């Protein structure tokens, strides 16, 4: 049972997170999906490896999302870690998808 991590661009709110999670979770062979907004990622557990092209096709039908596989999770250097207030711009930013 492979579990892979993917970067998801195009998510702007919790509605986007729910859309991505629902679309990916309904794919045949997907066992579990976790999606987060603060670092736009998805972790997908599946019965067998699904091609990124197939995942992208399904996400494109749901919105302007782009998925790419993260080869190996790496620890960010201390200079790139976010501060407590570093993500406030995302809290106040509304996009058309968030209506």
Q: Sign (positive/negative) of CA torsion 31, 35, 39, 41?
A: positive
CA distance 72 to 61: 27
Would you list the domain boundaries of the chain? 3-72+88-94
pTM, 2 dp: 0.72
Considering the domain 3-72+88-94, what is its CATH architecture? Answer: 2-Layer Sandwich (3.30)
For position 90, what pLDDT does the model report?
Answer: 46
For position 40, what pLDDT does the model report?
Answer: 95
For position 84, what pLDDT does the model report?
Answer: 47
Mean pLDDT, 10 residues at a time, the chain of 99 residues? 93 94 95 95 95 95 93 58 48 53
Contact in structure between 59 and 51 (CB atoms under 8 Å): no
For position 37, what pLDDT does the model report?
Answer: 94
For position 76, what pLDDT does the model report?
Answer: 56
CA distance 20 to 63: 9
Q: Sign (positive/negative) of CA torsion 12, 27, 33, 8?
A: negative
């Amino acid at each position: 049972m492979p579990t892979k991590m993917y970067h998801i661009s195009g998510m702007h709110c919790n509605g986007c997170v729910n859309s991505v999670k629902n679309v990916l979770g309904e794919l045949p062979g997907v066992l579990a999906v976790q999606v987060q907004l603060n670092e736009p990622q998805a972790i997908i557990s599946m019965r067998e490896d699904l091609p990124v092209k197939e995942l992208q096709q399904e996400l494109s039908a749901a919105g302007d999302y782009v998925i790419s596989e993260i080869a190996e999770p790496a620890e960010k250097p201390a200079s790139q870690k976010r501060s407590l207030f570093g993500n406030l711009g995302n809290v106040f930013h509304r996009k058309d998808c968030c209506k």
